[in-house]
Structure 1
Amino acid sequence: MSRERFTPNDRLFRRSDVDRVIRHGIRVSDYCMTLWVLNNTLERSRIGLRAPRRVGTAVLRNRLRRRVREAFRRNRDRIPVGVDLMCQLRTAEGCSYAVLAESLIRLSVKAARRRPGDRPRRSRSADP
């Protein structure tokens, strides 16, 4: 039972951690969320959440954040171990708990399978 708790160790707290995940992580998206995934040196996964105002009212944004935290907590065994996840919610329409949970799992596995070297890089040269 204690394994399913959502503790402070499961969250991305520091701004520097969040910025690192967004800057260097692999980004994957679907209808409900954008997820950045980056390997960490810990033996557990951590999650950070963003819900911009365009998603809806404060009550709705908080409800969606609670649902994503619950999905992370309950499906920890299906989410890759040793990664930091940064989740930005995109919309509230049609995003029930089941949809958010499946989206979180699918996107985290998809991003964890990709290697950072597979990310498309922008060319710095001015070649036409």
Structure 2
Amino acid sequence: MDQKAPFPIFPMHFRGLLLLAGMYTIAWSAFFKWFGPTLVNWLSMGQGSFEGLSASYYGTFGLLVGLVIFVSAFYPVSWIYLIGAGIIGKIMLALWFSFGFLPNIGWNKRSGFHLIFNELIWLVPMILILLRAKAVKKYLIQSEK
């Protein structure tokens, strides 16, 4: 008797988390794009030098990453590559902020908040969602055979 593995469910709240991660990334990136010097000054708590910081480019790249994450929520099982691109984008944003901004603005509660809660913490649910989407896709491919 051939027993199939139970169907791996992709819950709707995973889509909601992807939508939320995308909107959150878009919002913070828009602040960097259009209020860059002011936001960087606020993140530095009024200390540090800001010449040569690419807040506008960082914001533009973040807007693209946020849009990719947001769009991936519509068909997460089919568009696994978009979730993966969003994860890679969030890692790149975290590295860019760490090496491009932190040396100038310094480590404090505001810059730490941005790095940890706006960039890094979103990686955990996004990786879990990617793994579940892969499991569902693998099951669907195997059930077709």
> Which TM bucket (shorter chain)?
under 0.3
Larger Rg: 2
Which is richer in strand?
Answer: 1
